[in-house]
Chain A
Amino acid sequence: MSPMSTDDPLHSPERDEAIRAVEGEFVQMISRFRRMIARRAEMLSPGLLPGAYKVFSTIAQSGPLTASVLVDQLMLDKSQLSRTVADLEKRGLVERTPDPNDRRAQLLSATDEGKARYDEIRESSDSLSMRTTLDEWDISEIRRLATLLHALNDE
Chain B
Amino acid sequence: MNTQTPAAAAPTGAVPVGVSARAEALAALEGSFERLMQQWRRSYLDAAECVSPGMLPATYKVLTMISREGAATVSTLAEHLSADKGFVSRTVSELEELALVTRVPDPHDGRVRLISLTELGCRRLHVARSPYQHRLAEELDSWPVATIDRLTTLLDALTTGETPHP
Chain A's nearest CB lies how many Å from the CB of B50? Answer: 15
Contacts of B1 in A (CB 8 A): 155
**Total residues of chain B contacting the partner, CB 8 A:** 61
Task: Verify B57–A151 contact, CB threshold 8 A.
Answer: no
What per-residue 1/0 map shows which CB atoms of A4-28 lie under 8 Å from chain B?
1011101010110011011111101
Which residue of A is nearest B3, CB measured? A154
**Total residues of chain A contacting the partner, CB 8 A:** 57
Task: Verify A10–B161 contact, CB threshold 8 A.
Answer: no
Task: Verify B4–A26 contact, CB threshold 8 A.
Answer: no
CA distance A21 to B145 in the complex (A): 11
Most buried by B among A131, A132, A146: A146
B35 lies within 8 A of chain A by Cβ: yes
Task: Verify A10–B82 contact, CB threshold 8 A.
Answer: no
Q: Is the interface of B mostly helix, strand, loop or mixed?
A: helix
Task: Verify A139–B22 contact, CB threshold 8 A.
Answer: yes
Selected from A25, A138, A150, the residue in CB contact (under 8 A) with B152 is A25
Selected from B14, B33, B145, the residue in CB contact (under 8 A) with A149 is B33
Chain A's nearest CB lies how many Å from the CB of B155? Answer: 4
Task: Verify B145–A136 contact, CB threshold 8 A.
Answer: no
| 9-residue interface stretch from A75-83, A100-108, A112-120 | A75-83
Task: Verify B154–A4 contact, CB threshold 8 A.
Answer: no
Selected from B28, B83, B145, B166, the residue in CB contact (under 8 A) with A6 is B145
Selected from B136, B162, B166, the residue in CB contact (under 8 A) with A138 is B166
Q: Is the interface of A mostly helix, strand, loop or mixed?
A: helix
CA distance A145 to B155 in the complex (A): 8
Task: Verify A80–B87 contact, CB threshold 8 A.
Answer: yes
Chain B's nearest CB lies how many Å from the CB of A151? Answer: 4
Task: Verify B158–A19 contact, CB threshold 8 A.
Answer: no
CA distance A33 to B70 in the complex (A): 25
Selected from B21, B140, B163, the residue in CB contact (under 8 A) with A137 is B163
A43 lies within 8 A of chain B by Cβ: no
Contacts of A77 in B (CB 8 A): 56, 58
Selected from B15, B17, B56, B144, the residue in CB contact (under 8 A) with A76 is B56
| A residues neighboring B (CB under 8 Å) | 1-4, 6-8, 10, 12, 14-15, 18-19, 21-26, 28-29, 32, 38, 49-51, 75-77, 80, 83, 129-134, 136-155
